[in-house]
Amino acid sequence: MVDTQGAVGFVFPGQGSQYVGMGQEWAESFPTARQAYEEADSTLGLALSELCWQGPEEELQLTANTQPAILATSVAIQRVVAEHGLEPVVVAGHSLGEYSALVAAGCLSFADALRLVRRRGELMQEAVPVGVGAMAAIMGLEAEVVAAIAAEAREDQVCDVANYNAPIQTVVAGHREAVERAVEMAEARDAMRAVMLPVSAPFHSALMRPAREGLAPELEAVSFAAPQPPVVTNIDAKPVTNGEVARQALVRQIDGPVRWVESIRWMVDEGGVETFLEVGPRAVLSGLIRRITPGVAAKSFSEPKGLQKFLDGSGAGK
């Protein structure tokens, strides 16, 4: 194990971190990364690597393609990182990223995870007709205030807190009209910013119940081993070391909130993490982590040079 700056925790990003060209530099630089993409292509029976590296962007943005593409890229990078001797004491992933975390922890096979997230993406898209649901990010208000706004905006529709991303950055999801009402209410209460998000479905809300019911039997059909190291789950913000508990957490995660603030705080306060390494296509979580735990270093491994800087000791800071 490489001697880094104290105990290391890995975090894996979810949907929204994708872009055309992601992972290509890793695959060109490291055979291990290329092999991961080849395994993904073979498992799914489609040219996922080509989609990641060349697009077209419209195809990559389809949820059923986006989810396995991000997973494949994250796992490809994680395997290279592991080859260089970096081992985490605990891992976590944001939404979709929890599957990458479980693969990294040896709980779920890469092939099973690929098939599951592709189906997850299909079920999430099918759960709500395009245009019916929406999500919005609200910044500058405490999470408790946003939760109260969501409840008030609900009326006879769905409007739930979907993501507790940072102390004053919370995402709501549900019926478009209800989410739009929440945005108006947040603005009236002097939110720093309240914006509708460019997403295709209201993830992590009660409207995802059909997706949860559809994915549950698929998850039951797959083998889950005891994760090592522990995985901090989105739904409970606590570590799991039991495969069955990890499986049920993925089921509950689909229509439940991502408790990212609590997850990161547990990793630092209880897990002893001193340095976070974000392993995925693009730096998304590192900025959130710096807001949640300002004194803790967070570094992204979205490009090979980030790994080299870290190993050289020049990129270990914030």
In-domain check, residue 317: no
Domain assignment of residue 108, given as a range: 8-127+207-312
Residue carrying the six token digits 């419209």: 58
Q: Active-site residue 95, yes or no? A: yes
Q: Are residues 119 and 171 in the same domain?
A: no
Catalytic one among 17, 74, 95, 200?
Answer: 95
Q: Are residues 91 and 220 in the same domain?
A: yes
The two tokens of residue 274 are 């001193």
**pTM of the shown model:** 0.95
What DSSP element (H or E) covers 139? strand 133-139
Q: Are residues 158 and 84 in the same domain?
A: no
The parts of the chain modelled with pLDDT lower than 50 are 1-4, 314-318
Q: Are residues 55 and 189 in the same domain?
A: no
CATH code (residue 175)? 3.30.70.250
Catalytic one among 17, 204, 205, 302?
Answer: 204
Per-residue confidence (pLDDT) for residue 1, from 0 to 100:
41
In-domain check, residue 290: yes
Buried b (16+ CB within 10 A) or exposed e, 117-145: bbbbbbbbbebbeeeebbbbbbbbbebeb
What is 43-61 written as a DSSP string?
HHTS-HHHHHHH--HHHHT
Per-residue confidence (pLDDT) for residue 308, from 0 to 100:
86
In-domain check, residue 244: yes
Q: Are residues 244 and 215 in the same domain?
A: yes
Domain end among 167, 197, 227? 197
Which long-range CB contacts under 8 A does 225-228 form with residues at least 24 apart?
225/106, 225/107, 225/108, 226/107, 227/102, 227/105, 227/106, 227/107, 228/105, 228/106
CATH code (residue 121)? 3.40.366.10
Q: Are residues 180 and 59 in the same domain?
A: no
Q: For residue 250, what are the contacts with CB-CB under 8 A and spacing of at least 6?
A: 98, 99, 102, 215, 219
Query: How many domains would you assign to the chain?
Result: 2
Q: Are residues 211 and 183 in the same domain?
A: no
Q: Are residues 66 and 107 in the same domain?
A: yes
Q: Are residues 107 and 215 in the same domain?
A: yes
Q: Are residues 141 and 259 in the same domain?
A: no
Per-residue confidence (pLDDT) for residue 5, from 0 to 100:
59
Q: Active-site residue 175, yes or no? A: no
In-domain check, residue 91: yes
